[in-house]
Amino acid sequence: MADQFKNFIGGEWVAPSTGNYFENRNPARQSDLIGLFPRSGREDVDRAVAAAKKGFEEWRLTPAPARGDILRKVGDLLTERKDEIAKAATREMGKTIQETRGDVQEGIDTAYYAGVEGRRLFGKTVPSELRNKWAMSVRRPIGVCGLITPFNFPLAIPTWKMFPALVCGNSVIIKPAEDTPHTVALLVEILEEAGIPAGVVNLVHGLGEEVGSAIVEHPEIPVISFTGSTDVGSIIGAQCGRMHKRLSLEMGGKNAQIVMPDADLDLAIDGVLWGAFGTTGQRCTATSRLLLHTDIHDEFVERLIERARKLKLGYGLEKDVDVGPLIHEASRTKVEEYFEIGKQEATLVLGGERATGEGLDDGFFVQPTIFVDVKPGSRLATEEIFGPVLSVIRFSELDEAIRINNEVKYGLSSSLYTRDSVSSFRAFQDLDNGITYVNAPTIGAEAHLPFGGVKQTGNGHREGGWEVYEFYSETKVCYLDYSGKLQRAQIDNYDASPY
């Protein structure tokens, strides 16, 4: 009998009002049923909102350093249970255990960083233009935050959203991806153990078109944070715009690694293998385009193919596995469609087929795939695939590579391999992305730095770092006039004005 999981609302684990559940299966071994999770509905979201509003009234008055203390305890508990959570994440998401340990570590780092920020929610004290008048600004919480998270980082991304929202004094309702609900359930268990008050954190499982839509459309959820596809993000953006909600979007990417003739080619090959095929290419920061200078193109491709052939596919908990499965059948179907598109547009030099054989037939595996002779502006070069597919583009000079990088609609991450400092600073200045690496792959994030992109990758807000705390809080300006008389700004101060 499969385990049957529950929602977490108002400090209690409760069954969905619908009475319906969906299966969560291991994408590497579809015969492995992880459990049954609530297929919740609008009534469950309404109940979560009522609990979150009640929890918010207590939590917003809790001193921010005390809120931070709870998050530091969460970090301690995550550390104690790191391997357990990593194994659970690999089982339901598919990436290797080394990667899911990194996923959990990111959550640990985010917890400790948020804990410190509980003592750093600074406002400003500003001189008033009038006598005997005090002027200052403070940060204050907003209310209930709706958090909608993807499958590819089932622990890290929920913490990116949840922990800053909490330390700022908000309550939250989180809907994890239906492909990875178990990892978030474990995270909420840890928050409960750490002492988070009832109603401050609420977990509602379900489908995006049901629970996700109900969260976005709910009039009493003023803040929405979404990570997912650009198409869905556009729909959410339109709805939040109509309702005047605060919204953070982190969406697609079509990231390029540029390799110059003076680069350390061994380092660059290591980078593109990790960037293109880590997490089976299912990262918004994945290296999906490889831009090679014509002087090193042929040698680089030959060496890259040789290395990529040796990548081992399999279940991420098994020894020496490099590449896991795609998340579900629809994802594999999409990737296979791009195999056919690529065969029409470019030259296939590796992969391009479903991966079969011992240990692979019960999962959603495809071969790591490389196309060369890819033309800028083609579908392979411009559309997000979200799988282990690398498109190689030839260029002759850095200006051309920068132009190719910038011509897509996305702008998340980019990478340049070079030993030249001038080229490095050209990349920082001219590559139209929210993140640029030099001599490192396009993937990777640090908890204390902002994360996000430009153009159709996002809407200007950032996850992580110091900027996310501004998203989850409002600025309030406070004046104290102790002059004992009516003073009128600008009018009473007219004689002192230089204008």
- Cβ atoms of residues 167 and 114 within 8 Å: yes
Dihedrals φ, ψ of 50, to 5°? Answer: -60, -40
Q: At which residue do the structure tokens 């980019």 appear? A: 414
Name beta bridge partners: 437. 415
Could you tell me the two tokens for 113? Answer: 């960083």
Does 284 participate in catalysis according to the annotation? yes
Of 309, 308, 382, the residue nearest 345 (C-alpha): 382
Does 478 participate in catalysis according to the annotation? no
Catalytic, out of 106, 284, 384, 463: 284
- Cβ atoms of residues 89 and 103 within 8 Å: yes
Catalytic, out of 99, 106, 117, 250: 250
The angle formed by the CA atoms of residues 407, 413 and 419, to the nearest 5 degrees, is 95
Q: CA 408, CA 257: separation in Å to the nearest integer?
A: 14
Q: Per residue in 83-114, is it b (16+ CB within 10 Å) or e — as a string?
A: eebbebbbbbbbbbbebbbbbbbbbbbbbbbb
Q: CA 461, CA 450: separation in Å to the nearest integer?
A: 9
- Cβ atoms of residues 6 and 13 within 8 Å: yes
The Cα-based distances of 465 to 19, 124, 451 in angstroms read: 40, 19, 7
Which 3 state secondary structure label does DSSP give 139? strand
The strand pair at 201-203 and 255-259 is best described as: unpaired
Name beta bridge partners: 389. 369
- Cβ atoms of residues 54 and 23 within 8 Å: no
Say if residue 420 is exposed, middle or buried (CB neighbours under 10 Å; 0-12, 13-18, 19+).
middle
The Cα-based distances of 7 to 88, 193, 405, 464 in angstroms read: 18, 16, 43, 27
Q: At which residue do the structure tokens 């709870």 appear? A: 70
- Distance from the Cα of residue 411 to its chain's centroid: 14
| % helix, strand, coil for the chain, step of 5 | 40, 20, 40
Question: Which amino acid belongs to residue 319?
Answer: K
Q: CA 152, CA 168: separation in Å to the nearest integer?
A: 26
Could you tell me the two tokens for 363? Answer: 């999962």
Residues marked active site are found at 250, 284
